[in-house]
Chains A and B, each alone.
Chain A
């Protein structure tokens, strides 16, 4: 096969041992200043039994080795800074670097959560400002920023539903979730103490109203709905769906992982949602960092406001203060006030765009997804015949006929220099290929990606082996995941 594609050429990367293997006794990468107080004798002050021996096999490396180690490892990675990252449902958009700078602002980065409120006004104002802006974007009456990620926001929201319903006499037993839902939705319902009932999707990828109607009874506490849903389609009947649940005294929770399709265009609060989360590490561009940190802002309509996690930031006599006197609150979901540093970045993102800019970004996100769909849909089967929002979801049925599955196409994309799309989710799509380009991809990069997908479609016709055995050009060929799980080795140990 050609070693060069439009975007890639083979290049040298360096091997690197683990820190523990680089380590030799006596090396060090630190130097502490001399102490200005006498050194304690721990055997005496702590008691010999409380003092540890040396930390066996803990690394001993020099400063040069530390920087080389992590720099070499970084070259084995891929990130948005290197190119398109079309992971559907994950909204891998550009992470503005200024946001990293402002999160490290001296007074903010060193603010202790228990320092006096008089010395925390700037930080509190950031929290209050972001709550207020997100409320406007979501169409919600109040927002909490305490949850640390989307799934944590789901837990927060469903616990609020539970307390709200309990305050009316009965917390009820079940949470409904469509079969297209993200795995965190059913998992959340369980840890919030509910049973889960799945609702079927119809042939357009939307919630099947008949199955829904049949499932709603007096035991249902809430429906968890993703909108646009996980096949990238807006739930056309959303207002009606909310009405159906409200009619039976149940609540509607919206998983807002796909808010990037809606900001400035449609507001969940306006179409009937009671409570929702938004992953600030998706829509509001805070970096994913290889799997976190995130933040899960939760918005609610006014009837749920008393149940929000405590404390709440509020203005009293012109000063920001934390309000702990919240008798109906579900309590804390996290120590302190949330992933503040992530909130700073999200606020910086919103400030940069302003209202009009946010809407423009949304429209561009819809445009890039629809453009990719238009370029690919002759060769890949679109999963549902419904308009795509910010992502387009294909099924691998055409490729499967030649023995190639979504996971193989994904690995072959790596050879072309792209991170794969989301593989095998949602579960309702046979061999799902979920593509979300986001608004921060230039047309040239989108074209290179589409060209790669189409070239792979050709390869599948002419030479499926090359796809089945991909990747070929990476420093690491296919990784044996089955073997890893058979006898798990999750730490390094001296032989």
Chain B
């Protein structure tokens, strides 16, 4: 039987082990289970298959998924080139098949790379503390909200409608616990930025945090300073969300925020139909004890040399149980490593050049199109199209996946689509899109 290739013991080995256990048969290993728990029949699953058949099965599934199409979809998931080095490093068994680095003496490799990850995330976001990763950008949002509630002792969270709609849905699910109160505020229909006046009306002494995204879901860059001033005036925190990490190479870092959460998918993490990605949460030093998830800290070993270990675990579930800052345990370590390698390959100059290419391509794509909003954008923007569906259908015939029709998330924007260009968008394909839209 094919599956036996993963089971290393021979029948002779099994017999010897059984004998050492004082057992006469393999069945005796589980015959003590209550009869009502045991399943009498074999599982209804096909027989095991060979490696060759497995590869073939997934090749066929992949062939049903539009390989070879150009794409102008962004909306939280971006097509960027993935340097070869990233897969080379994460494929090393020492990283791939290791566990959470609880045993520091045996895990300095993982611990050192996480320390570097935390450092680079801090440098990019202008924050002082970043954790070892969250599941993804969307789940980092409720974590930030809960963190803000702990810090302020308040229970109301105001979230902009320009935050990724699916991130907001995750926040609303969290709010079903009856302890978090979420309210949404709208956007300026001219600029595509948040409606500051509406926020000003809503914010009050119960507000723990204001959650905005920049560049926001429409691609518009927000005036974070103005939101921060307003939030701070009312004793609330500013939570800034990002979905396009490449923008951090060019845009001013969100230093005025109190908590920054976001998604690093753009850093060499393949779109992979929605995951696995790597979320981040970063904050100011003074809030370090309220941050969720794992943190790696610097220390020394018994020989006096620099070493790293997991630290401040008294925030975490395995020590604090019901008093923990979060229930997160497993995070996205290997994906964070992939992003770490990406950041090392591009480095200071490369990230800026990459961001510049993204911005330049998007400017070219937008040039001459009927943009819906006036605010500056990085590599995504909204355009009007009488029927986004018809435009996309025509493009699909040319092996191009067009933009995201916005009516699905914003009924008032039924005549609009969100377009994204990256360094991988070729001029010829962009010209085809422009033509289809004009």
Given contacts A39-B356, A67-B88, contact A78 B136 (CB under 8 A): no
Contact A288 B98 (CB under 8 A): yes
Verify if A178 is at the interface (C-beta below 8 Å from B): no
Whether A139 sits at the interface, judged by CB under 8 Å, is yes
Instruction: Assess whether A290 is in contact with B98, with CB atoms less than 8 Å apart.
Output: yes
| In the complex with contacts A56-B123, A483-B300, A61-B347 CB distance below 8 A | yes
Let me know if B301 and A479 touch, CB within 8 A.
Answer: yes
Given known A136-B44, A335-B166, A491-B128, contact A110–B271 (CB-CB < 8 A): yes
**A292 and B83 in contact (CB under 8 A), knowing A79-B93, A108-B273?**
no
Known: A136-B45, A367-B17. A488 touches B276 (CB 8 A): no
- Chain A residues lying within 8 Å of B328, measured Cβ to Cβ, are 149, 151-152
Q: Which of B23-70 contact A (CB under 8 A)?
A: 23, 26, 29-30, 32-34, 36-39, 42-49, 51, 53-55, 57-67, 69
CA A353 to CA B47, docked complex, whole Å:
7
Residue B438 lies at the interface, judged by CB distance under 8 Å to chain A: no
The count of chain A contact residues (Cβ–Cβ below 8 Å) is: 199
Chain B: minimal CB distance from A111 (Å): 4
**Contact partners of A456 in chain B: CB under 8 A:** none
Chain A contacts with B in 395-439, Cβ cutoff 8 A? 410-411, 414, 419-420, 423, 425, 439
Interface residue A337 (Cβ < 8 Å from any Cβ of B): yes
Give B13 Cβ to nearest chain A Cβ, in Å. Answer: 4
Given contacts A74-B95, A162-B176, contact A50 B252 (CB under 8 A): yes
A202→B271 CA distance, assembly (Å):
48
Q: Could you tell me if B37 and A270 are in contact, using CB atoms closer than 8 angstroms?
A: yes
Closest Cβ–Cβ distance, residue A47 to chain B (whole Å):
6
Q: Which of B184-192, B197-205, B230-238, B311-319 contacts A (4 or more CB under 8 A)?
A: B311-319
CA distance A289 to B101 in the complex (A): 10
A414 close to B106 (CB less than 8 A): yes
B2 contacts which of A70, A266, A287, A352 (Cβ < 8 Å)?
A352
Interface flags for B169-186 (1: CB within 8 Å of A; 0: not) read 110111011110000000
Are B426 and A42 in contact (CB-based, < 8 A)? Answer: no
Could you tell me the distance between the alpha carbons of A156 and B42 in the complex, rounded to whole angstroms? Answer: 30
- A248 CB within 8 Å of chain B: no
Contacts A39-B356, A98-B51, A481-B104 given; indicate if A234 touches B311 (C-beta within 8 A): no
A137 to B105, CA, bound (A): 38
Neighbouring B residues of A384 by C-beta, 8 Å: none
Residue B129 lies at the interface, judged by CB distance under 8 Å to chain A = yes
Closest chain B residue to A127, Cβ basis: B273
Interchain CB contact under 8 A, A39 and B360? yes
Asked if A334 and B18 sit within 8 Å, CB to CB, the answer is no
Judged by a CB distance under 8 angstroms, whether A201 is at the interface is no
Query: Given A35-B357, A183-B320, A479-B307, do A58 and B351 touch, yes or no (CB 8 Å)?
Result: yes
Indicate if the CB atoms of A443 and B334 lie closer than 8 Å: no
Residues of B within 8 A of A50 (CB): 221, 251-252, 376
Mask of B340-369 contacts with A, CB within 8 angstroms, 1/0: 010111111111111011011101100000
| Contact of A330 with B by CB under 8 A | yes
In contact, A75 and B60 (Cβ under 8 angstroms): no
Chain A residues with CB under 8 Å of B296's CB are 490
CB pair A107 B63 closer than 8 Å: yes
Shortest Cβ distance from residue B380 to the other chain A in the assembled complex, whole angstroms: 13
Query: Which residues of chain B are near A351, meaning CB under 8 Å?
Result: 46, 48-49, 53-54, 57
Which residues of the other chain, A, contact B321 by a CB distance below 8 angstroms? 183, 186-187, 196
Bound Cα distance from A268 to B160, whole angstroms: 42
B79 touches A271 (CB 8 A): no
Chain B residues with CB under 8 A of A30: 83, 345-347, 350, 353-354
- State whether A152 and B3 are in contact (beta carbons under 8 Å apart), knowing that A51-B252, A480-B299 are contacts in the complex: no
A110 to B104, CA, bound (A): 36
Instruction: Known A151-B327, A335-B138, A479-B301; judge A290-B129 contact (CB<8 A).
Output: no
Are A110 and B79 in touch, CB under 8 angstroms?
yes
Instruction: Using known A-B contacts A290-B99, A339-B276, determine if residue A148 contacts B139 with beta carbons closer than 8 Å.
Output: yes
Contact of B99 among A98, A186, A387, A419 (CB under 8 A): A419
User: Nearest 3 A-B pairs (CB), nearest first?
Assistant: A357-B3, A289-B334, A336-B274
- Give 15 new A-B contacts, CB below 8 A, not counting A47-B376, A293-B335, A443-B9: A46-B221, A50-B252, A55-B348, A56-B123, A77-B95, A77-B110, A112-B71, A121-B65, A266-B39, A279-B330, A291-B100, A331-B170, A338-B275, A358-B43, A490-B296
A-B contact pairs, 7 of them (CB 8 A): A79-B95, A103-B272, A190-B327, A292-B334, A479-B307, A480-B302, A492-B119
